[in-house]
Every structure is written in C-alpha cells, then in structure tokens.
Amino acid sequence: MIAEAAHELGLEGLTLRAVADRLDVSIAALYHHVTGKDDLMRLAAEYAAAAVPIPRDRGQHWAVWLQEWAAYNHDIFLARPALLAQYLDGAISMESIATNVDRILGALVRQGFSVTEANAAYEQVTAVALGSAVMTTRERAAIESGASLRAAHEAVVANHPGHELPHLQALLEEIPRVGRQSLHDCVTTVLRGIAAEHGTDWRLVESHLAGR
C-alpha cells in the first residue's frame, strides 16, 4: 500500500508526509515499514518499474522487438526523470523487474537466440536507450537553466588558447550540420552488430524494420 501510494503521488518531490496523508496514517506508522525517504523512493521506483507493461510480444521480428524495447525505455525514463535517477542509483532491484526481464529474454529465445545471446542483446539495446535518455535529460535541464550543452562546450573551448582542444572544436563545427545521433540511428548500429553475431543477413533485418 505504501509503494502504491508513493507511485500514485509521483517520485518528484515525494515525501513521507505526503504518503502518510494519502494513506491517512501517521509518519510514525510509516517508519514501521520504511527506514526513511530513500527507502520510500526505492519502493516507489520498484513499483513503477514493475507496473509499466513492456512492449507486447506479437511475434514480430527480433530486431523490431528490440527497437520497440529501446523506444519504450527511452520514453519511459524521459517521462519520469526521477525513475531514471533511481535506476542509475541502483535502487531498482532485479527482483522487482524479474518477470519483465524473463519475458524479454523469452521473446528472443523463441527466435533462435540462446539465453546468453538474448541477455547480451537486451543489455546492449537497454544501455543505448538509457544513454540516450540521460543525454536528452541533460540537454533539457541545460535549456531550462538558460543555457545549452553546446554553449557549455563553446565556453570551455574559448577558455583554452590556440588549439588545445582541436577535436572538441571540430565537433562544434560539425554539430550544426549533422546534429546528435538519434536514438533510432544508435539502436540500428547495435542491431547491425547483433545481426552479424547472430549470422543474420542485415538486408533481411532491414526489410523487417522497414515493414514494422
């Protein structure tokens, strides 16, 4: 009940007082079940992670499924920055997401992956999605503070005379033209590697992705 109430209130600005009021109990009563705010945040994060359904296994090609999984992770964590912070802090235990992970592995095993290969593919795609969510979150925070990551990079380069940071300077010159690589492009790069390791012709994978 405590975890559900905390989840319903949302992780942002969550307090013991808010949960106690929602459950109509005293804060002292909560301390019989949680050790403090950090423990409360962990419970709420685990509840949120377990409650959100993963993409449905419709028998789609493994690459399509992994692409959907990446987009799901990216969007969930962008919509809930506090959940992302809890995940990065290691507050979400394997026990709380075990059912989802088992379903993810099963979707790939049914398409010819060994369970070890399935886990490697799952971890690689998840890492890309999380990394993209972190970068987007940082960019949003920078913009909200009246700056941007590009502006921060420009300031650093300007403070170093001559060509002390030639590669960062070259990157700044390229960014307006190419921009940051999209989540889709990043995941596609990973899927190419998975296909190669799995012995699958990339052209066949591309046809499935194009027809998703």
Measured CA to CA, the distance from residue 73 to residue 31 in angstroms comes to 33
Would you give the distance in Å from CA 17 to the centre of its chain?
Answer: 29
Among residues 149, 144, 143, 57, the alpha carbon closest in space to that of 106 is found at: 57
- pLDDT, tens digit, for every residue of 150-187? 777 788 888 887 678 888 888 777 766 445 678 888 99
The answer to whether the 1-51 and 55-210 domains have the same CATH topology is no
Q: Where are the domains of the chain?
A: 1-51, 55-210
Specify the pLDDT at position 105: 92
Specify the pLDDT at position 41: 83
Q: 55-210, superfamily in CATH?
A: Tetracycline Repressor, domain 2 (1.10.357.10)
CATH of domain 1-51: 1.10.10.60
CA angle 148, 154, 158 (to 5 degrees): 150
- pLDDT, tens digit, for every residue of 122-131? 999 999 998 8
- pLDDT, tens digit, for every residue of 97-153? 788 889 889 999 999 999 999 999 999 999 999 888 888 888 777 777 777 767 777
Whole-structure pTM value: 0.71
Helix residue ranges per DSSP H, 2-114: 2-9, 16-23, 27-30, 37-51, 62-79, 81-88, 94-109
Fill in the DSSP letter of residue 112: T
Range 30-42 average pLDDT: 86
With tokens 């999984």, the residue in question is 69
pLDDT-derived band of residue 37, with 50, 70 and 90 as boundaries? confident
Among residues 89, 210, 175, 188, the alpha carbon closest in space to that of 129 is found at: 188
Please indicate whether residue 205 or residue 94 has the higher confidence score (pLDDT).
205
Using CA atoms in the order 122, 128, 130, 132, what is the torsion angle rounded to 10 degrees? -160
Specify the pLDDT at position 119: 95
Measured CA to CA, the distance from residue 85 to residue 192 in angstroms comes to 30
Residues 6+ positions from 124 with CB-CB distance below 8 Å? 190, 193, 194
Specify the pLDDT at position 178: 43
Measured CA to CA, the distance from residue 44 to residue 11 in angstroms comes to 7
Among residues 69, 49, 72, the alpha carbon closest in space to that of 61 is found at: 69
The size of the chain, in residues, is: 212
